[in-house]
Every structure is written in structure tokens, then in C-alpha cells.
Amino acid sequence: MLVKICGIQTKEAAEAAVKNGTDLIGFVFADSKRKITAEKAATIAASIPNSVQKVGVFVNETVERMKETAELVGLDYIQLHGDETPDIAEQLPYKIIKAFAVDLENLSAIQAYPCDYYLLDSPKGKYRGGNGKTFNWELIDRLSLSRGKIILAGGLRPDNVDEAIQLAKPAGVDVSSGVETNGVKDMEKIKQFIKQAKLTKKG
């Protein structure tokens, strides 16, 4: 089970995620309470081993800016979390994670997008993603997507990630607010989330 810890803003949080076995670290470069500058992300990224993949989260950013940021930080993946069209993804020389809010109206738009992973998230609140709310995981059964390309997000926490994995059978899980206390990454919650996700067998 792939685990992505997103919204990393400090070296300490990155180290806790790496030490406990995360597969991907996410930096948010879009408007969010977890936004980080490319320069600060590059400093943190320098301490992350190559075995852990670095993901940059962008919302409706220009291709040029995404490429510049990716090069500076040393990103492995670009996560498109806005209304980016397929041709935007095709212009980026990086692996792509495309985020989709899962609701009944949106199901048909998800299928044909050119990406390495589909990140299925709850419908957006104030910001795209990071709202700490789950969606109806059973809706995934209506998508003709390979489970091997699905990363599940939205309201996951150490105490519900096992149920989510058993129901949705994704390739990976993504967490941000679910491993925070008072809006700050909590080292113990990071540890518990990764441990629980790695232990859980798909249903």
C-alpha cells in the first residue's frame, strides 16, 4: 500500500514521515493553509532520500511555473488539483497525479485523463483538497478505473484508513489534515497512519 503524507511544511514532519515508511511526500504550492514556497520545499527535499518520491501539488498553475518549481525542488510527480485539461498534463515532463472530487456528476470526467495515478478526493470546500471530509467510497465501484492507479484521499485518519482500504481497494492513500493536531503535523499521528495503512489488507 502506497502512503502519501501531504502538506509537509517542516523538515521534522518530513523526517517523521520518511522514518515511518512513507512512499510519497507532498508539498502544496497552491493557496492553502499548508502552502510552502519552492525555496523552502527545496531545502526540505534535500534531506529526503531518493527512495521517497516528492510530489508538488498545483492548482491551475502555468506549465512554465510548474516546470520551474519541479526543477528547483527536485519533484518526481506533479499533482494537478485544479481544472487542468488533459493537454496541460501532456506538456509536463513528469509523472502526473490528477485529483478529482468524487461525486455523481463528476464520474464520467475522470475516466479518460492521461495520468499515472487518479487521486480521488472529497468534493471541494474552501480549498481544493485538505478539507478533512470523506466521500462515499462505494462510488468508486462505478468507475471503470484500474484500482492499481487509484490513490484515495479525503478525510482519512489513523482510525478509518483500514476501513477505507478494505472498501476502496486503492493502490495508495493520501493524508494531510488527518495527521494534524490543531492544524500542525503530529509526529505520532503520522506514525500511526502509516503503520495502519501498511498493515491493512485489501478486502
Instruction: Map out the domains of the chain as residue ranges.
Output: 2-199
pTM of model > 0.75: yes
Number of C-beta neighbours around residue 102 at 10 A: 22
- Residue-level pLDDT at 82: 93
**Superfamily in which the 2-199 domain is placed by CATH:** Aldolase class I (3.20.20.70)
Instruction: Give the C-alpha separation, 40 to 9, whole Å.
Output: 8
The Cα–Cα gap between 173 and 1 comes to 8
Active site residues: 6, 121
User: Residue 98 in 3-state DSSP?
Assistant: strand
Model pLDDT for residues 14-58, shown as the tens digit of each residue: 999 999 999 999 999 999 999 999 999 999 999 999 999 999 999
Residue-level pLDDT at 38: 98
Q: Kindly indicate the confidence band of residue 129, based on its pLDDT and cuts at 50, 70 and 90.
A: low
Is 15 or 200 the better-scoring residue by pLDDT?
Answer: 15
